[in-house]
Amino acid sequence: MRTNRQDEPLGEHAAADARANADAPPPQRKARRRGAQIVLAGWFVGSTLVASTLLARHVVPLPRPAADAEIATALAPLRASEPNAFTVLHVLYAECRCSRRVAESLALHTASEGVHERVLLVGKDDELAAKLGARGIDVRVTSVAELLAWHLEAAPLLVVIDPSGAVRYAGGYTERKQALIPRDREIVQAVRAGGRVDPFPLFGCAVSDDLRRTINPLRLP
């Protein structure tokens, strides 16, 4: 009888172990669960990366060129031939919706006296070039390589050069992304009056491949 009483606890422990083993998930179930966790984690990381890329493309400003002697020297061949004229450069990209918005605004106004306006158009768009030409704007179709030689890599970009050759403004057209009315005429007027204009952020499209890879590493459309 003593031996049986000592064996009873051992039997109870053995039964408990058997029930625990029966309730434990089999190896296949554990593997499937682990695989599902890995897939879920990968989906979360991928979704976060895509969302971050889209946000950067639509919210984060693009780099502006510095309004210094280096860019002034690079842009010197594009200046107006008239000695006392201001030169206004509109850097536009044919495949950029923001650039087209600026172009449509330019086509609604007449040229200002004492200001030579020139559009540097990356890409081919005969209709756009003709529309701007009718407004009295000199349109120069250019390449990405040529644009980079001028130290420019994003659009739409506004550059204002005074008669001495100094770059007085190099930046965007609006204070926020996709604002309806470009403020280039207001900026040019302030610069011609001798004021200092802080450049707006450059919202738009990357033109150079290096900048595209930086802001859109996933090559999203």
Q: Report residue 160 as tokens.
A: 């204002």
Plot region of 182 (φ>0 → left; ψ -120 to 50 → alpha; else → beta): beta
Query: CATH classification of 69-214, choosing from 3.40.30.10, 3.40.190.10, 3.10.20.30, 3.40.50.150?
Result: 3.40.30.10
Per-residue H/E/C for 10-30: HHHHHHHHHHHHHHCCCHHHH
Judge whether residue 210 has pLDDT over 60. Answer: yes
Average the pLDDT over 90-96 and give the result.
94
Judge whether residue 46 has pLDDT over 50. Answer: no
Judge whether residue 121 has pLDDT over 60. Answer: yes
Beta 138-142 vs 115-122: how paired, if at all?
parallel
Question: Residue 27 corresponds to which amino acid?
Answer: P
* Phi, psi of 122, deg, nearest 5: -90, 120
